[in-house]
Amino acid sequence: MTTKKKIRVCVAGATGWAGSELCKGIVLTADLELVSAVSRKSAGKDLNELLNLSNKQKIPVFGTIEEALAIPCDVLVEYTKPDIAKHQVITAIQHGVNVVVGASGLSDADYEEIGAVADENKQAVLAVGNFAISVVLLNKFAEMAAKYMPNWEIIDYASDAKVDSPSGSTLELANKLAKVSASNKTIPIEDTKGIKETRGADINGMQVHSVRLPGYVIALETIFGMEDEKLILKHEAGNSAKPYVQGALLAIRKVDTFTGLKRGLDNVMDFNS
């Protein structure tokens, strides 16, 4: 009987809040193998020691993606900051490695460029604004609601320490809803009396408001309104990164099932079964 080959994974941002929790999940998963990591602050160390992992083999930590890719891998999970994420994603693609993007802050223009590179190199990129299953369901339900309720706005909540605004989860949702239609505005924003900026930012034809305050981790809310009725869809995250692990593991397993760029975990999930 032939043993199925494990999927070899490199995690960029492996010592971060979400990346470290994912690494712990990977080493406990039979069909995945964590072979390397990227963390500029921890370069040269063993990830096993840094995260107290139970892995028997050394997991080297590198300071750059170029160094990390010297160790063969099948999938890069990108969990770093937007200022370096695009470079690392494109570098991995050009090295024949599929990519799962968990970093937030990349723009639609960034993804257009990434998608073109993926197509050119016949590799796959699965960009996921939020790996939590509740967020995947929120996105799906919001797409359904947008077909019947034409007025909506999005509120994006996060900690005061979050530097990017809006969040990757919000950008992903706005991207999906834009494919349904632009949100209807009874009074055009340019006709607003007073301070127009209080109406939020226009992203793909809908108003988005970002709240950054202590006490929040990540929350995402879409409010649909019609005369005498409204629908509120809201996801709230706690302090742990555990809710994101199962979705990320699913993304790693599914990223080789297509070529090019897909945005959203729902693209590789079966909602019909």
What are the φ/ψ torsions at residue 81 (nearest 5 degrees)? Answer: -90, 155
Say if residue 94's pLDDT is above 80. yes
160: left (phi over 0), alpha (psi -120 to 50) or beta: alpha
Q: Show the tokens assigned to 216.
A: 């929040």
Output the pLDDT for position 258.
97
Q: Which residues pair with 156 in a beta bridge?
A: 210, 220
pTM, 2 dp: 0.80
pLDDT digits (tens, 9 = 90+) for 158-198: 999 998 899 988 998 999 999 999 999 999 999 999 999 99
In angstroms, the first-to-last Cα distance of the chain is 30
pLDDT digits (tens, 9 = 90+) for 4-26: 789 999 999 999 989 999 999 99
List, in order of start, the domains of the chain with CATH numbers.
Answer: 7-129+241-268 (3.40.50.720), 133-236 (3.30.360.10)
